[in-house]
Amino acid sequence: MYKVFKFGGASVRDAEAIRNVVRILKKYPNDKLVVVVSAIGKTTNGLEELWKAYTKGSDKTTTILQSLQESHLRIANALFEPGDPVFDRLNDLWVTIEWVLEEEPHPDQNYTYDQIISVGELLSSTILSAFLEKEGVSNTWMDARDVVITDDHYREASVLWDRVESRCASKVIPLFEQSDIVVTQGFIGSTLDNNTTTLGREGSDYTAAIFGYALNAAGIWIWKDVPGILTADPKHFNNVIKIERLTYREAIEMTYYGAKVIHPKTIKPIQNKLIPLYVRSFLDPEVDGTMISAMDELKLPPIIVLEDNQAMLHISSKDFSFIGEHHLSRIFGLLAKHHLKINLMRNTAISFSVCFQYDDRKINRFLEELGDEFTVTMDRELELITIRHYNAATVKEMKKNKVILFEERIRDTIQMVTRPSPVIVRK
């Protein structure tokens, strides 16, 4: 049986972290592992900056590229002897970016984005695979783009499941005849015409689920810098506790509402094949983390999910006509077309309000196409707070010092759109 391990950017952030990943992998000598790795540390953000600079025609591209190259080189120098063949392989990858930067801009900027951004995972997986080999852990590096076949919706590609399943059978399984570990990249895929695509930011968890699904894996292990799934983000809250077990249902709800611990798209494929998912700490690899699997609903403590950078758009008719089905269907059609994921919504007689993650690019296109048929206003810099399994004390605590713009309760979930209260300065 296959197991899929996913290591995120923080778990390979520097040479010491990569050594730690190797230590973890050495503990599983009897398993067949697909190891999915993200780009090192904040590389993807850096590559995003590079792409932005390039599309704006800015001269910053060279500096950004150099600093990314240097940070990778620092890590490689700490792990390998001078002259190791890995340096040439890394160089070749940087050259693919340099080519893109030298070319005339492609008409589809999202296409260019994927060609640049995907290199982060190619670099990290190359380093990890070579270092494992150096440490005596036999493994095979695999290009995920030979397997994760997608449509051509660049930057947010959809997986073509049948293709992925047949490629897993024809390309991945035979690799296990060479070694028990296959190292590959999260986040990236390819169209049938061999154009590189990506699956959406933080998409490496999803890649792990894709391989798990297509290989009918025994389980998926996501190695993180937290001990498991917690009742709230420890960066924002005190007194958080680890949740030992979660149902697929609870996990998909939590991540849908914005819990950052795993990517929301991860749950469906594994639920469909009842593959358990384990979230564990790479800092404390022996300790059980959270297990997500099929089981009866559990009694859970309040779980708080906070999403910032929310916007609320208020769309109303200009002539006092009701916002009826035909308006709504037009609005929804445009929201879908521009991939604006609705977090909350409400309609009244002549208005429709919707809350989503603020994204300049998508919202401007949406508004442009909506035209001037409606009056539109927008509130920004809001927070969306979701409490699953809420109780009065938690709700009270969460409302402290906040202006509540919107609140909705459905069964065991309460959601609020809030704004930090204005600071009143006395003169």
- Under rule CB under 5 A, residue 38 binds Mg ion: yes
Q: What is the largest CA-CA distance in the chain?
A: 76
- Under rule CB under 6 A, residue 419 binds ligand ASP: no
Q: Which is nearer to ligand ASP, 112 or 316 (CB)?
A: 112
CB environment 330-342: b (16+ within 10 A), e (fewer): ebeebbeebebee
41, 120, 212, 228: which one binds ligand ASP (CB under 6 A): 120
Q: Which partner in ligand ASP, Mg ion, none is near 275 (CB below 5 to 8 A by kind)?
A: none
Give the angle 17-21-23 at the CA atoms, nearest 5°: 110
- Under rule CB under 6 A, residue 46 binds ligand ASP: no
- Under rule CB under 6 A, residue 38 binds ligand ASP: yes
Q: Which stretch binds Mg ion (CB under 5 A): 35-43, 65-73, 229-237, 267-275?
A: 35-43
- Give the interface size with Mg ion as a residue count (CB under 5 A): 2
- Under rule CB under 6 A, residue 186 binds ligand ASP: yes
DSSP string, 321-390: ----HHHHHHHHHHHHHTT---SEEEE-SSEEEEEEE--HHHHHHHHHHHTTSEEEEEEEEEEEEEEET-
Q: How far apart are alpha carbons 254 and 305 in whole angstroms?
A: 7
- Under rule CB under 6 A, residue 11 binds ligand ASP: no
CB of 29 to ligand ASP, least distance (A): 27
- Under rule CB under 6 A, residue 264 binds ligand ASP: no
- Under rule CB under 5 A, residue 125 binds Mg ion: no
CB of 186 to ligand ASP, least distance (A): 5
CB of 9 to ligand ASP, least distance (A): 5
- Give the interface size with ligand ASP as a residue count (CB under 6 A): 12
- Under rule CB under 6 A, residue 8 binds ligand ASP: yes
Classify 36 as helix, strand or coil. strand
The first and second tokens of residue 189, run together, are 């895929």
Q: Which partner in ligand ASP, Mg ion, none is near 11 (CB below 5 to 8 A by kind)?
A: none
Q: Which helix (H) or strand (E) holds 310?
A: strand 303-317
- Integer angstrom CA distances of residue 247 from 127, 277, 409: 35, 10, 21
Bridge partners of 377, per DSSP, are 314
The mark string for 5-34 relative to Mg ion (x by CB under 5 A, - otherwise) is: ----x-------------------------
The first and second tokens of residue 374, run together, are 């409606």
Classify 62 as helix, strand or coil. helix
Determine how many CB atoms are found less than 10 A away from the CB of residue 320: 8
Q: What is the CA radius of gyration of the chain?
A: 23
Q: How far apart are alpha carbons 30 and 177 in whole angstroms?
A: 14
Q: Which is nearer to ligand ASP, 4 or 304 (CB)?
A: 4
For the chain, the straight-line distance linking the first and the last C-alpha, in angstroms and rounded, comes to: 70
Residues 6+ positions from 332 with CB-CB distance below 8 Å = none
- Under rule CB under 6 A, residue 187 binds ligand ASP: yes
The first and second tokens of residue 36, run together, are 């999915």
Bridge partners of 415, per DSSP, are 386, 408
The mark string for 79-118 relative to ligand ASP (x by CB under 6 A, - otherwise) is: ----------------------------------------
Q: Which stretch binds ligand ASP (CB under 6 A): 201-209, 217-225, 293-301, 342-350?
A: 201-209
The first and second tokens of residue 92, run together, are 């070749």
Q: Which partner in Mg ion, ligand ASP, none is near 187 (CB below 5 to 8 A by kind)?
A: ligand ASP
39, 183, 222, 311: which one binds ligand ASP (CB under 6 A): 39
- Under rule CB under 6 A, residue 203 binds ligand ASP: yes
CB of 370 to ligand ASP, least distance (A): 29
The first and second tokens of residue 29, run together, are 């000598």
- Under rule CB under 6 A, residue 44 binds ligand ASP: yes
* Residues at the contact surface with ligand ASP, assessed by CB under 6 A: 8-9, 38-39, 44, 120, 186-187, 201-204
* Residues at the contact surface with Mg ion, assessed by CB under 5 A: 9, 38
